[in-house]
Amino acid sequence: MKITLNSVSFRYNGDYVLKDVNAEFETGKIYVVVGKNGSGKTTLLKILAGLLEAEGEIFLDGSPADPFLLRKNVGYVFQNPSSQIIGATVEEDVAFSLEILGLDESEMRKRIKKVLELVGLSGLEKEDPLSLSGGQKQRLAIASMLARDTHFLALDEPVSMLDPPSQREIFQVLESLKNEGKGIILVTHELEYLDDMDFILHISNGTIDFCGSWEKFMEREFGDVEIPFKWKLWKKCGKINLWEDRYENSGNQRRRDTV
């Protein structure tokens, strides 16, 4: 599935936040959106998720897509998880996101169990979401959208409240979803643990001024993006996964230390 934006613009109180944006997003890929605060990153995600109605044209697999159709196909995770947590318990919060789908109770329970295990909240089903830590609330917000099983996920700073090991864990979940055919569109400043991205989009002054691979991104100068040390090593040494415990060299696997 593909979402296409043609000359998409959006303004608040007459001032354009996004201007003449053209982009494509496909399932089975991870897109990372970067840029300074206020550049339009969150607005772009909300347009893709059907939460804002923009000027211009939006297509889903070549057919015009209104906000309702986008909401059916794109799950949105807010930057502040408290904005979307409404259930009295953890499992009720995930269940709420499923009620509009008309699923039977057995299917709902199956999905709830699966997504809570994926995000590391298994065993907390009966907990009050208000008692969770900030990082656990982020995990719950992600779980609620995962349960909907949409073609795309749009996530706004989904790991900002997590410690580095937990950030890596959530990114690995997103990478596994990509491998299952989901499209992941991600706004984050935490690039250190995201190894499997396909495209980086840089937004400046409301326009996308770069879209390409991390290798091409490294050839440009973007003063508003902090480049992870690992990426700098990749550039010098050739891209290898510095977080894997093993690598394959001429058919033989050798042990090596992680960085």
Report the number of distinct structural domains present in the chain: 2
Neighbouring-strand partners of residue 130: none
In a domain, 101, yes or no: no
In a domain, 106, yes or no: no
In this structure, of 4-13, 36-45, 95-104, 107-116, the range with the lowest mean pLDDT score is 95-104
pLDDT at 71 over 70: yes
In a domain, 114, yes or no: no
Query: Do residues 197 and 245 both lie within one domain?
Result: no
Domain that holds residue 32: 2-89+149-226
Is the distance from CB of 152 to CB of 31 less than 8 angstroms? no
Q: How far, in Å, CA of 227 to CA of 166, rounded?
A: 20
Query: Do residues 32 and 55 both lie within one domain?
Result: yes
- 225: confidence class by pLDDT, cuts 50, 70, 90: confident
Query: Do residues 160 and 242 both lie within one domain?
Result: no
Query: Do residues 75 and 34 both lie within one domain?
Result: yes
Query: Do residues 212 and 154 both lie within one domain?
Result: yes
In this structure, of 15-19, 126-130, 250-254, the range with the lowest mean pLDDT score is 250-254
State the catalytic residues: 157
In a domain, 112, yes or no: no
- 254: confidence class by pLDDT, cuts 50, 70, 90: very low
pLDDT of res. 76: 95
Query: Do residues 153 and 252 both lie within one domain?
Result: no
CATH code, domain with 79: 3.40.50.300
In a domain, 156, yes or no: yes
pLDDT of res. 116: 96
Query: To 10 degrees, the CA torsion angle through 104, 110, 111, 113?
Result: 140
Instruction: Read off the pTM.
Output: 0.85
Tell me the mean pLDDT in the region 214-231: 76
Query: Do residues 52 and 156 both lie within one domain?
Result: yes
